[in-house]
Amino acid sequence: MKLSRWIVKNRLLIYRADHHIVKKALYTTAVLMALVLCHSLAMMGFEGLEPWPALWLTLTTLTTVGYGDLSAQTQHGQMATIILIYFGGITLMTFLIRDYVDYRIARNERIRNGFWDWKMENHILIINSPKYNNELFFKRLVMQIREDKEYKNVPILLLNSEFQDGLPAQLKDLDVRHITGSGNDDTDLNRAHAGKSKHILVLARDEYNADSDSISFDIAYRLHSMRLAHLALVECVEDSNRKRITDLGIKSVSRPIRSYPELLVRAMDAPGSEVVIEDMFTRKDNHPERYSIWLEGERWADVVSAMVQAGVGTPMAFINKEGEVTVHPAGDDHIHAQSLIILVKSANVPSQKQVDAAFEKSLVKLG
């Protein structure tokens, strides 16, 4: 609640400051244009100049360039220049420059505090921030996103209440932008141009606290109401909460695994693949096991077929006699190995004997 009040208060202060600067600049510009018009008319009347030379003389005098090709020759023309330009115009020019500098300073301050409204589309919007080591997590996540050729130059926008003192330099260097706000606020979602985004990642605020799911569900519901659920990937701490988030039409729901932000990237690339990866981390339904199998040139396709047909599991990799691991070799590769890594059902892990039997029954028969 305190943070929300801080955000609202700062938004109001920034709006007032910007409004004041713009109002001053517009007033100064209007008065300056009036002086330019008056001096130009004076040059036409007192010096007999045509409209364009009169304006040219006014502007070169106002900017103190003074090319010398034209100048006021009559006493009345010279007095008009002294009064309108020297006493008024040049002073107003410095005021206008001051207002512009103030605006640039205010703009940089808004960017630093996350209150600048970035105009984005086809971007990746990341809502919320991990409670712990958020800077390191975002760095790894963004670097993984940039590794994908499809997302190498895609804009990335963070929407959270962190980084109130400015986005870390290493994230700026990765071309990341930031908005201070909350995914639980429709105004902030609109400021982040959620409707124009390519992907929306909703992070769990605290990966160890199931209460984070309530916050994520509220964001998911807002995205559903905005018809953006099909763009969203949502982290869910408690497995029992997944269904109510999935029922909103969310594209992907996964467990927060902070040490492996690549999970989110895989979910963007190939929705559903994150379930396979998550299973390996959690042993929920499936996990990889290592089995000793001595292979002397058997085809990888035959090895996979033997294990699958025997109901053992799906071979994912092999370890050669030098201890090197090769993941997902080609089907026609002839394998020389001491062990296999097999994806097995966690509820029914095969024994070494069952694996040996599958090998002897199928592969030896082929030989």
Residue range 348-352: mean pLDDT, rounded: 90
How far is residue 252 CA from its own chain's centroid? 18
- pLDDT tens-digit readout, 176-213: 999 888 999 998 999 999 999 999 999 999 988 999 99
Task: Give residue 163's pLDDT band: very low, low, confident or very high (50, 70, 90).
Answer: confident
Average pLDDT, the chain: 85
Q: How far apart are CA 189 and CA 364, in angstroms?
A: 61
Closest CA to 61 of 52, 71, 53: 71
Between 114 and 61, residue with greater pLDDT? 61
Closest CA to 346 of 281, 271, 291, 258: 281
Instruction: Evaluate if residue 231 carries a pLDDT over 80.
Output: yes
**Tokens 């002073």 found at:** 91
Task: Give residue 18's pLDDT band: very low, low, confident or very high (50, 70, 90).
Answer: low
pLDDT at 1: 45
- 286-366 adopts what CATH topology? Alpha-Beta Plaits (3.30.70)
Domain 124-282 falls under CATH 2.70.210.12: no
Strand partners, 290: 341
Task: Give residue 149's pLDDT band: very low, low, confident or very high (50, 70, 90).
Answer: confident
User: Which of the residue ranges 44-48, 108-112, 139-143 would you say has the lowest mean pLDDT?
Assistant: 108-112
Residue range 232-243: mean pLDDT, rounded: 92
Instruction: Evaluate if residue 164 carries a pLDDT over 80.
Output: no
Task: Give residue 50's pLDDT band: very low, low, confident or very high (50, 70, 90).
Answer: very high
User: Which of the residue ranges 24-28, 249-253, 332-336 would you say has the lowest mean pLDDT?
Assistant: 24-28
pLDDT at 11: 58
Instruction: Enumerate the domain spans of the chain.
Output: 8-113, 124-282, 286-366
Which of the following CATH numbers is that of domain 8-113: 3.40.50.720, 1.10.3720.10, 3.40.190.10, 1.10.287.70?
Answer: 1.10.287.70
